[in-house]
Structures are given as C-alpha cells and as structure tokens.
C-alpha cells in the first residue's frame, strides 16, 4: 500500500480545479534536419520520426506543457551518415541540445533542463524527500528495466521468435541488452509497474487528487500517458500507425488490458492527452 503523502508541487502547477493560469501550449519550429539544426540558437529537440517512441513523445509533452519554445529536429535523408553521433555523442533519441551546452539525452536530464528553462508550472516536487520518491517512480516508467524498457524487451522477444528472426529485433536486442535473463524478467516488471501506478492513482483519488501524485499535474502523469502507448495505443484517429506496426505496440496479454480499464489507468491516460497534450499525436 502506498502511504506516501500527496506530492503536490505547491504554487504554479496545473491544478485546473484551482483555476491557476496555464501557459499557452506552443507548436515547435521545424522540423529541420540535423545539419541545419546545429547552426540554430536556443533549444533544439532531436526526436525519432514516424514511431511513437515514448521517450521522444514524453520530451515533447514536457516542453508543450511548460510552453517552452524549441525547434523540432529529425534525422533526414539529407543528413550525412553519423550526423547524430557527431552532434549528440550517442545514437539514440531524443536529445535536447540547448545553445552550446552539453547534450541531454536521458529522460531525467531533459526534464531537469525543462525545469530550469521554465520553472512554472513545476513538474518536479521541490521537497527533497518527495523529489527522491518522484524520481524513483519515474525511473520505474522511463529508466533501464522500467516499464518502457521491458515492453521493448518483450517486443524484441516476439521478433526474435519469428523464422527468420526480425532484423530490427536483432538490432534492438543487441543495443538494449536482450538476453534470456532480461527477457524472463520483463513481463513481471511490466505487471509490477502497472500495479504500482494503479495503486498510486487509487491513493491519490482517495485523497481527492486528480493526478497520479496528488492535486497537480506532474511529469509522472506525462510519462504514463506517453508510455501507455507501448501497451494500449491511442485509437487510430488520435495516433495514426501503419497497420503492420500497430500490433507491435499492443500488449498481447488480455489481463493487462483489463487491469488498465478496471484501475482507471487507461482513462487517466486519455484525460491527460485530451487536456494537456497534442491530438492527434504528431510522429
């Protein structure tokens, strides 16, 4: 049972019941190529194109909620081979590039940069104990062997089971540490994290909260909304995917979908998108 007290940022969060002024969501400039983005000032966010990667979508969601101006960057055919690695020092998405500062490529780095650039509305608790609890929860969704990571391992396992193995699954498995041991752990981790989120939502609602950690919108709500698309994607009218791709993002276990419905986690995802994020989703 989660007995941690409500994590409310206090003053400046998006508490719609309190009538607080909300920043106006802004559409980013772009998209532009990696090559063109390097010469631009300000914040540039490099995301994967055409795929609902929750790490990329969550970064966009945070910037949207905070009303931060940025330029959207895609790797385009005009970019030379290795352009992403040369600029960001790594080969994954997303990457937040602010002025001449170091690249931010991890979910926590990107969130903290956004908090610095636009302190209001706060998406991270100010209290140290609450903040430590909050970041632990976010890791369970976004971090290594968290919800998103383990759903990716489950998809890799399905691709490797084909004859012949799916080449994308082979590549992803090599990059993200797929092994018999991690593959065995992944389904249980997915269930555990979903159970934790369901408990958090129930505890918050019992206290009169409307979000996962209390009365105000936090980054954990945005992470859940975007990462839920790895389990139960938004409907086609809101998230357009090729017919061959959509099944990859649907969890194969009916019990998982029943859990999302019964606990209200799916309804919570839908409400976050409807009230705070862009629909239809732009990939």
Per-residue pLDDT 10s for the chain (283 aa) are 444 444 444 433 444 433 344 566 668 999 999 999 999 999 999 999 999 999 999 999 999 999 999 999 999 999 999 999 999 999 999 999 999 999 999 999 999 999 999 999 999 999 999 999 999 999 999 999 999 999 999 999 999 999 999 999 999 999 999 999 999 999 999 999 999 999 999 999 999 999 999 999 999 999 999 999 999 999 999 999 999 999 999 999 999 999 999 999 999 999 999 999 999 999 9
Q: Which of 17, 23, 19 is nearest to 120 (CA)?
A: 23
CB atoms under 10 Å from CB of 222, counted, come to 28
| Its pTM surpasses 0.85 | yes
* Class of domain 16-117 as given by CATH: alpha beta
Q: How far is CA 248 from the centre of its chain?
A: 17
Question: In terms of DSSP H, where are the helices of the chain?
Answer: 34-37, 54-66, 83-88, 107-117, 128-142, 147-160, 167-175, 180-206, 219-227, 254-263, 265-276
Question: Are the beta carbons of 31 and 233 closer than 8 angstroms?
Answer: no
Question: Are the beta carbons of 121 and 217 closer than 8 angstroms?
Answer: yes
CA distance 190 to 150: 6
Question: Are the beta carbons of 193 and 230 closer than 8 angstroms?
Answer: no
């Amino acid at each position: 049972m989660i007995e941690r007290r409500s994590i409310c940022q206090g003053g400046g969060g998006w508490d719609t019941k309190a009538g607080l002024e909300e920043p106006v969501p802004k559409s980013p400039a772009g998209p532009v190529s990696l090559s063109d983005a390097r010469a631009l000032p300000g914040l540039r966010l490099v995301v994967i194109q055409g795929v609902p990667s929750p790490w990329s979508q969550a970064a966009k969601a945070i910037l949207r909620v905070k009303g931060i101006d940025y330029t959207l960057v895609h790797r385009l055919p005009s970019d030379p081979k290795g352009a992403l690695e040369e600029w960001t020092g790594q080969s994954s998405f997303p990457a937040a590039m602010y002025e001449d500062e170091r690249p931010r490529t991890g979910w926590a780095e990107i969130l903290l940069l956004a908090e610095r650039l636009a302190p209001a509305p706060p998406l991270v608790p100010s209290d140290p104990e609450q903040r430590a609890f909050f970041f632990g929860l976010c890791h369970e969704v976004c971090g290594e062997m968290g919800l998103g990571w383990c759903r990716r391992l489950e998809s890799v396992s399905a691709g490797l089971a084909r004859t012949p193995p799916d080449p994308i699954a082979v590549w992803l498995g090599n990059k993200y540490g797929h092994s018999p041991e991690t593959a065995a752990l992944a389904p249980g981790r997915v269930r555990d994290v979903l159970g934790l989120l369901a408990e958090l939502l129930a505890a918050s609602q019992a206290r009169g909260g409307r979000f996962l950690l209390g009365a105000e919108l936090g980054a954990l709500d945005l992470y859940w909304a975007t990462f839920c698309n790895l389990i139960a994607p938004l409907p086609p009218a809101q998230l357009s995917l090729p017919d061959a791709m959509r099944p990859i993002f649907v969890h194969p276990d009916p019990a998982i979908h029943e859990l999302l419905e019964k606990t209200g986690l799916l309804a919570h995802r839908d409400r976050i998108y409807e009230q705070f994020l862009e629909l239809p989703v732009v990939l």
